[in-house]
Chains A and B, each alone.
Chain A
């Protein structure tokens, strides 16, 4: 029997869809390729150590040290996690274990809407409200590690909440029933049975929250003060890797621009490690 026209069309469509599917990989490849092409030469020329461990960023004078920015990026991220992770986890626990059906119907979308607020708006509100508060009550200029950590802490909430929530919800109901049947209270059950069972997913949510915080740019630029040194206290200003790129890319040229791409390479590597870690942590659970 000869193949009819519909079958032929089906074959053509299949190939088209296949091309679509490979586009994501292709784009990922392009992004890596071009950031690496622009960013790697400077590592060769100036030396990996002088960039990653260098303290001085004066790109027009041949100094490309981004060590303070790496440290700052991690500091704001850890700060954001200290504030956002417990709060996010608490919300996730509340949603998964405590909230009634009606409350959940309203709370869950409301918490997800936090993710929809643009980062510039977070930054703006940070400048208008949080920075002056810190200036008044804690001293300093207010543009600080603390301000950035607070703003980022809120910004990572949706990530932490939704992934932790999924992890908590995937704990089988029998676990809970078993514990409750033995006379444990709801909180004992949640604390001793449900949270440990969901721990890998919760950990993954923290790691992905870190990824979100370390990659955030506009909000951080607006509240962090962007000073080029390692902050001595939480009230000192700092500049993260992302801020460095965004602040200078518009006018940079020559080696200066290459230096920004080198910053991008470091950021890309950190992000990839975090994503891999989150994936690894989640997969651990599946094997178990």
Chain B
């Protein structure tokens, strides 16, 4: 028997509605579980005291600082490089074989899984360049990993700046660089910022690439060549080795809330920009 098309149509619409809501439900459940379970074990002391007994007791202060240092460093390295690439691709060249090759390189970097970044960072920065398990090895590895995100979002943002503004600037006797610096980049700034925010989120949550390059020392890193344990790595070790479920939940809460906050801020900025242009 063939069902009447109108009935099928309504049924499908209803089903899709449920599927979409269910999928968002996954996110809601994940966040709720982490928040509800974690909130009981978290307080300011947890954030600002040192861990004791491998993290069974005490807080995550060194990991918090280590994460901030690591992410800040990799963003500082990756932003100029990524922005420079995006500017070069959009403003300084036409589409040629060379730009296609560069884009291919960026796409390929984006597709490489984080464990291979870990493997590369380990052999190249840690072993060959003798930087050891350190903040700097981790930061350089993450720099390469987040570079594609920054390049792609910056490129999109720069492309969205109307051509007419560039033309006006040139007609007033600006060089290409003056036009880029004074007209294009200010207009593209919110979009570029979105890319940086998304990269921060990715870097904060990264484990596989960090654990083999920055190591997992529980001490507070005080120099570029000190090892350290980021929140994500700390969480992984707590959970995997069954050290403390309470501390694991509390650490997960810090991780998830900070990443969600950064991501939501990023989407908010993007939304503002889209609203402005349309």
Contacts and interface: CB of A to CB of B under 8 A. Distances in A.
B156 interface: no
A224 B211 CA distance: 20
B255 interface: yes
10 contacts: A6-B177, A20-B85, A21-B89, A28-B108, A91-B23, A111-B23, A116-B263, A120-B239, A154-B26, A218-B207
B55 to A, nearest CB: 14
B97 interface: no
Query: Which of A7, A120, A221 has the largest count of B CB atoms less than 10 A from its CB?
Result: A120
Given A34-B128, A91-B19, A222-B239, A188 B111 contact: no
At the interface, is chain B mostly helix, strand, loop or mixed? helix
Range class of the B interface residue count: 35 or more
A121 B255 CA distance: 9
B256 interface: yes
Nearest to A114: B27
B74 to A, nearest CB: 13
A122 B84 CA distance: 35
Interface of A: 6-7, 9-10, 13-14, 16-25, 27-28, 30-31, 34-35, 38, 87, 90-91, 93-95, 98-99, 105, 107, 109-114, 116-125, 127, 129, 154, 157, 184-188, 208, 211-212, 214-218, 221-222, 242, 245-246, 249-250, 260-261, 264, 267-268, 271-272, 274-275, 279
Contacts of B124: 30, 34
A215 B248 contact: no
B17 A267 contact: no
A125 B208 contact: no
Contacts of A218: 207-208, 236
B235 A124 contact: yes
Contacts of A116: 198, 201-202, 205, 259-260, 262-263
B12 interface: yes
Given A116-B263, A217-B114, A274-B111, 14 more contacts: A14-B92, A34-B128, A35-B123, A90-B19, A109-B267, A113-B260, A118-B256, A187-B5, A187-B12, A211-B111, A245-B115, A249-B119, A271-B111, A279-B107
Contact of B87 (A17, A118, A127, A154): A17
Contacts of A23: 81, 85, 147
Nearest to B103: A24
A16 B88 CA distance: 9
Contact of A34 (B101, B123, B198, B206): B123
